[in-house]
Amino acid sequence: MKISVPTIFGLGSLLFLVLATLFSTQLVITTQAYKNAREIYAQQLNYEKRLLDFEEWLEADTGRNKQKIAQENFNQAIENSGHANFALWGFIVLSACYLFFVFSLARRKHYALAIPGGLIILGLACLEVGLFAPMLEIGAFQRDMSIPIKIKTGLFSLSIDRTATFHGDLYFYYQSKSVMELIGLLFRQHNFVVGASILIFSVLFPLSKISLTLLHLFQPHWIQNKWANFMIQKSGKWSMADVFVVALFLGFLAFNNMQTGIQTESSVLIGLYFFLAYVVLSILSSFWVEPGMRKES
């Protein structure tokens, strides 16, 4: 019995989603482990703990020992980052194979729905990492900070003139969040308007649109549903996922170039790239779907 082209596309897409979910889950687990190790590293070298440790003011070896212990967590973070890169390359290779499969069906079997459908499915595969993996990390610290101590008083002829050096990193601030963690943090801080705005306009609206678009491709009678038609064709103006991504990149650039007198670090992490891929793929799929829907309407 000959298998139809839509069935081949459906089976291939299902297999891709299963394998992509495995890689995506591994990416989320390893990147979260990286974030947790970096947070512990920053907590162990927190400026309050170190500056309030009287022993560290007097003994330089105390600070060196703290740095050595904290370095173990930093090394663990680097190791987790390596595991994440391994899962990332697996996802990239799998996605490349799936795109080759999709374009082959579109070209050789003249199956026009393969390209927009494939782009949407690939976008949905990117969404798990985009929502739950850390997207940005920022930190402020000072390395090998020295504080001069000069005390001179006639009482008991006391005279102190020395410099206390806090070896290694002295962390003032470190944060790393995923999209969903950021939304949860905003709600916990009672910033309900901002948290709800990001959740609705940067997550729920785009996700609803891309899901309904996929259903419309393979169930054309959905065009008769006015609500679905509105979500697919008109909800783009309400979606702020692209604005959210641009705002994060601007925040990264601004923090990276701050002149505060202390050292700052900021890195774009894998979650933001996957969320960006999801946004771009959803926009590209719209170029194929929406013109046809307008003709049908």
pLDDT score at 185? 86
The string of pLDDT tens digits covering residues 17-39 is 999 999 999 999 999 999 999 99
Select from 265, 264, 269, 263 the least CA-distant residue to 249: 269
pLDDT score at 18? 95
pLDDT score at 66? 86
Q: What is the mean pLDDT of the chain?
A: 81
Q: Is 274 left (phi over 0), alpha (psi -120 to 50) or beta?
A: alpha
The string of pLDDT tens digits covering residues 41-71 is 999 999 888 888 888 877 778 888 888 888 9
The string of pLDDT tens digits covering residues 157-198 is 666 666 777 888 889 989 888 888 888 888 998 888 888 888
Instruction: Give yes or no for a contact between 287 and 121, defined as CB atoms under 8 angstroms apart.
Output: no
Other residues' Cβ atoms within 10 Å of the Cβ of residue 16: 21
Encode 102-141: b = buried (16+ Cβ within 10 Å), e = exposed. Answer: beebbeeeebebbbbbbbbbbbbbbbbbbbbbbbbbbbbb
Instruction: Give yes or no for a contact between 34 and 77, defined as CB atoms under 8 angstroms apart.
Output: yes
The number of distinct structural domains making up the chain is 1
pLDDT score at 236? 57
Q: Is the pLDDT of residue 134 over 80?
A: yes
pLDDT score at 77? 92
Residue 161 pairs in a beta bridge with 150
Q: What is the 3-state secondary structure (H, E, C) of 131-180?
A: HHCCCEEEEEEEEEEEEEEEEEECHHHEEEEEEEEEEEEEEEEEEEECHH
pLDDT score at 259? 59
The string of pLDDT tens digits covering residues 209-249 is 777 777 777 776 655 666 666 666 555 555 666 666 766 76
Give CA–CA dist 48/65, Å, rounded: 17
Q: Is the pLDDT of residue 293 over 60?
A: no
Q: Which domain holds residue 32?
A: 5-296
Q: Is the pLDDT of residue 267 over 60?
A: yes
172 CB-near residues (< 8 Å, 6+ apart): 47, 140, 141, 142, 262
Query: Residue 2 carries which side chain, given as an amino acid letter?
Result: K
281 CB-near residues (< 8 Å, 6+ apart): 119, 120, 122, 123, 126
Select from 153, 160, 175 the least CA-distant residue to 248: 175
Sheet holding 136-153, edge to edge: 158-177, 136-153, 263-268
Give CA–CA dist 108/3, Å, rounded: 15
Q: What is the mean pLDDT of residues 2-17?
A: 88
Q: In the chain, which residue ranges form alpha helices assigned H by DSSP?
A: 5-44, 47-51, 54-58, 60-108, 114-132, 179-188, 192-199, 205-218, 226-233, 241-256, 270-296
Q: Is the pLDDT of residue 294 over 70?
A: no
Query: Residue 25 carries which side chain, given as an amino acid letter?
Result: T
263 CB-near residues (< 8 Å, 6+ apart): 140, 141, 142, 143
Find the range with the poorest average confidence among 85-94, 185-194, 199-208, 276-285: 199-208
Residue 176 pairs in a beta bridge with 137
Q: Is the pLDDT of residue 147 over 60?
A: yes
Q: Is the pLDDT of residue 296 over 90?
A: no
At 16, list the tokens: 């891709």
Residue 130 pairs in a beta bridge with none
